[in-house]
Amino acid sequence: MGYLVSTEQAGYNGSWISFALGRKQWAYVADTRPSTHPIAADVPDLETARQVFDGISYAKGASVLKQLMAYAGRDAFLDASKAYFNKHAFSSTTLDDFVSCLKDSSDADLSTWVPSWLETSGPSIITTERDGDKLFVTTESVDAMTGKPVQRNHRVTVSTFARGDNGVKRTASVSVLLDKPRVEVPLPEGTAVDLAIANDEDLTYALLRFDPKSVDVLTENISSLEPTLTRAVAWSALWNMVRDAKLPAARFLEAVQNNILAEADSGILALVLGLAGEATSFFLPPKARPDAAANLIKTLSKGLAAAEPGSDQQRQWANALVREAADSPSGESPLRDLLAGKVSGLELTPTLRWRALASLAALGKTDKSELDAEYKRDSTMTGATALARAEASFPGVEVKRRVWDELTTESLTNDRQGALIAGFAQGPSSDRKEFVAPYFANLTKWWKEMTMTMATRLARGVFPGSSIEEGKLGSNAVEKAAQAWLDQNENAAKSLRRIVIEGLAGLRRQLAAQEL
């Protein structure tokens, strides 16, 4: 409801963009982990409560409400909401209270919708299929916790597009109820279909799967999709295919290289550039990363140079550049130009300067004297935290040992702990290789001796990374170490086990993607 109000009443037209491409990613990640759970989860104790208020309860919950509004009808949903708030003002309620109001205002069948959406886990998978001149949409829904098939009905907008002289143009948009595993889309006769998007308008919560022809069109022309929300849905779907090892990360980066310089929406720009960095650092095979990182720096430099001085787009290009420059030697020169004030119209805030210096530190291209000089310019608590992060970002095993010792033995503030964790993650992965065994050896000790918040941040923040260079999926050294810890610590705190389970699941996804 907050996104709806901010868009239609407050005039913030980018709200649904950030929801589709940003907020929902939190839900998709959480819902595809082994730790997923239904939205309507049983919460018998405090420890469970600490775990279930996550991307599923919040982001998936909001996504499902949006689909419910599409399924039941907008007017019926809003009428039900008004009745619900008026009837139960200043009192506690249950799910049944809202459903009862919705049944009074809508003719939609909610008897199976509520249990199939709210009492099962895992996202549906929606795929477009072509059969001659016909277009079909298939839906696969499996309860991730039980492994049993689920029939979830979806109300979606299916849109088709055709190639033209200036990218792609829309040829049809059809509202379709997906109430069977395979549904034909009732397109007007003669509709040209080079690209089909089965969740245009982002009405439902599901992972989209594009057919190969659609992937080709998007890789070349995603920037020409209109309106902006359609582009956000397409980018989100491509990224989910990368995460699920259904699309090589290199194809996603190809789409970025071909399209991102033409992106006019600052929200999409920021989010896609962040995904491009993630694809480069974690989902590409290690041998492909140096060239990909260098190409990304070139694109970021071009975008920054071309952006209107003082614009939101300029700030997004600059933020992405200072973040991604840490992963490529070619990042040093544009960082130096930025710090020297050579980017016309760009406000060099203390935060931006510190981030640039932290990336230079990760490259080994600054020193303590330059960092100390910057701290004299910004001797605030924020500056002290930024200095700690930059100093922790320097490459070298000795640096990482010092950071590790402080993280694991000292009593730290939240800010300093976060800064040290961020810096520890920078630099060559070989600098952190020796900490894999100590990580798993000390997990239960941290959990006993630290507060839950500090132990959680530490356990998540320094979970060991790896790649297929250390073994492919099923034989990777870090993967085996994490699984061994889980096997040997079945009685560890549920919250701690969940951290390791989720870290392991994320690593396995990266390894699977790297093998494509």
CA pair distance 197, 219, nearest whole angstrom: 14
Q: How far, in whole angstroms, is CA 307 from its chain's centroid?
A: 25
What's residue 51's pLDDT? Answer: 75
pLDDT the model gives residue 439:
98
pLDDT at 53: 83
pLDDT of residue 264: 94
Pairing of the two strands 206-209 and 154-164: unpaired
- pLDDT for position 11: 83
CA distance 146 to 134: 34
Rounded average pLDDT per 10-residue block, the chain, 516 residues? 85 90 96 94 76 89 95 95 96 92 93 93 96 94 96 97 94 97 96 96 97 95 97 98 98 98 96 98 98 98 97 98 97 98 97 98 98 97 98 98 97 97 96 98 97 96 97 97 98 96 98 98
Find out whether 495 and 51 touch, Cβ atoms under 8 Å.
yes
C-alpha–C-alpha distance, residues 342 and 195, integer Å:
42
Do the two domains 1-119 and 124-214 of this chain adopt the same fold?
A: no
Multiple choice CATH, 1-119, 1.10.390.10, 3.30.420.40, 3.40.50.720, 3.40.50.620: 1.10.390.10
HSE on the CB side for 225, CA within 13 Å?
A: 28
Thinking of the domain 124-214, which architecture would CATH place it in? Sandwich (2.60)
The closest alpha carbon to 382, from 358, 411, 350, belongs to 350
DSSP percent split of the chain into helix, strand, coil, nearest 5: 60, 10, 30
pLDDT tens column, 181-197:
999 999 999 999 999 99
Dist. CA 261–CA 302, nearest whole Å: 8
DSSP assignment of 7-58 equals HHTS--TTHHHHIIIIIHHHHHHHHTSTT---SS----SHHHHHHHTTTIII
Long-range contacts of 428-432 (CB under 8 A, 24+ apart): 428/395, 429/465, 429/466, 429/467, 431/395, 431/396, 431/397, 431/399, 431/400, 432/400, 432/464, 432/465
One-letter amino acid for residue 337 of the chain: D
User: Beta-carbon neighbour count of residue 236 at 10 Å?
Assistant: 23
State the Cα–Cα distance between residues 471 and 141, nearest whole angstrom: 32
Domain residue extents for the chain: 1-119, 124-214, 429-515
Q: Do the Cβ atoms of 514 and 283 come closer than 8 Å?
A: yes
Name every residue whose Cβ is closer than 8 Å to that of residue 231 and which is 6 or more positions away in sequence: 222, 223, 225, 263, 265, 268
